[in-house]
Structure 1
Amino acid sequence: MNWAPRVKPIQIRRLYRYARIGIYDDMLIHDIGWELFARCSDIATVADVYREGRVPCPLCHTKITRKIDPLFSSGEGGTREDWFHCPHCTKRLLWRDCRQKLREVPRCFSCYDILKITDNLLCSCGKSWTQQAYNQSVRTRVRLPCPHCHNLVRRPPAPEHAWRIKVRQTNPELKCPKCQATAVHVSGNIQCSTCGYKRRWRDYRKSLKKKDEKLECTSCGHTFRWQAWRRSTGSLRTGNPKPAREFVKNWLRCYTPQQRMIQIDTLLQTLHGRGPLAPLFIDSGEKSIRQMLDDLAS
């Protein structure tokens, strides 16, 4: 299936450079906007597959219902991490910035000196860690040095969400993987009364995700494999397709260059606040994209 490409960062920089001097380049806004629209549409389409279990045909886009119900959640996910400011240098941070900086330049947790990397991580104060133990400590600590001023900052509390994620209520007919008889979901296990097969429900769900399936389109007769289709969507899968859906809905209501510029800017601001989402839309690495979005926001 041919998916829409990501937008080039140079186009976005040019768009904002013109906007700062009051020039709305209609053609540039048109090109970037429709590229983002196509990309957002693809992201929303892929998200719908995992919510509904219906796969679009690569040729005619007719939706084909999978025989294997993956039992996924139908909720719209979201990032669990918000921006916060260092209380010492007031720099804007994500908690992962603090972790990533320590992975790139390991520092002692006591004296904050840079560690010497040998077989282990050694500090001049006498402390040492294995690489595995250090990484584990970085993951679990709630106080880490700021990547800018190196003063300790506390991990911010998780953001409170007003909505609740609704789990898709499905009662599919379960088949025993061993004898193909009807199985039941009981006490966290899948059980078959015919052959005595029993397996943990969580492991069974994981096996469904990896199981291949031949799909045939009822409209054009095209056949394809589920796993091949799934691999083609690697750069489009996200647990938070909400920004893409909103852009698709709002973009079609824009008729002037100013309205379109506002929608593009709104999407980029949303991506700026949700770091991991941006590489799905913009053709660059996460660090480069964040630097670009920081520059545009300043």
Structure 2
Amino acid sequence: MAVGARSGTEEPEEPAGRGETPRPVTSSVHPSPPRSGAQAQTQRPSSADSSDPSGTGGTSDTLNTSAGEEASGGMKKAKKPRAFWKELPILIGIALLLALLIKTFLVQAFSIPSDSMQDTLQRGDRVLVDKLTPWFGSKPQRGEVVVFHDPGGWLNETPTPEPNPVQKVLSFIGLMPSAEEKDLIKRVIAVGGDTVECHGTGPVKVNGKALKEDSYVYPGATPCGDRAFGPIHVPKGRIWVMGDHRDDSLDSRYHQNLKGNGTVSENEVVGRAFTIAWPVNRWAMLPVPDTFDQPGINKAMAATPAALGLAGAVPIVMWRRRRLTGTRNPR
């Protein structure tokens, strides 16, 4: 008897033995995936699934993971701080610029090259000079130690050393005293409007008042040294200067044959030396000696307000007198 053809996906049934029930044949083909959208929906986890409390079906976890990746990426893209050796040239440049500005407008260091200011200043001392106050109209005062440019001809016989390139750079920015600039340092004895003189062994007189100079004149030196002078009237805008070592200082006394008759223009003054900064064991301030504060030394200046007061009072008295005369003698 002919047997009908079976599906190729089915295997032949094993013949049942005696007394055994035939077993169904298991198919080797896997079930096909769901064909409809409704069936696909039944395969997704429900919104009430405890593994996804937000009910978004795993979307929250995905967003959190992405945010973490973006944050880590942002941290990686952050700029790293520069190494110190890269910042060092910038720091040095700023420091040099500040030093140049300070030297130009505020304070400058000067080296003492001679013994003309002994014992107040010794050869090799470094002094700091105030350059700020002259910008605000401050004028040199009696008793101050000042640095000034050569007025012309004072240092003709003094050789000027030639500095090396490093010294030039350091002096330009103010970290080292300049060796090329022809500057001098002396003490102001008289200012514009004063009369100064010294005869024999002294003392020096300013406006007829003798100066007591024992506190700063070099021990053993006479106030006039070997060059008597005066009386000399100091013109307005100029100063008369002398070194504290009167026997070893080519100051105003020795340049009376030059322009200004030995006086120095206030415009040539660099500034006032206010302290000894180096060496450390020589550190000291440079105050104005008390002798310049004694009564009578400013009599010329004290007379000026009195004269102005008198000049102002005369017109007032004349006006008042005319008024009284007009009242008594009416027309």
TM-score, normalised with respect to structure 2: 0.20
Higher helix fraction (1 or 2): 1
TM-score, normalised with respect to structure 1: 0.21
Which of structures 1 and 2 has the larger relative contact order (alpha carbons within 8 angstroms, sep 6+)?
A: 1
From the CA coordinates, give the structure whose radius of gyration is larger: 2
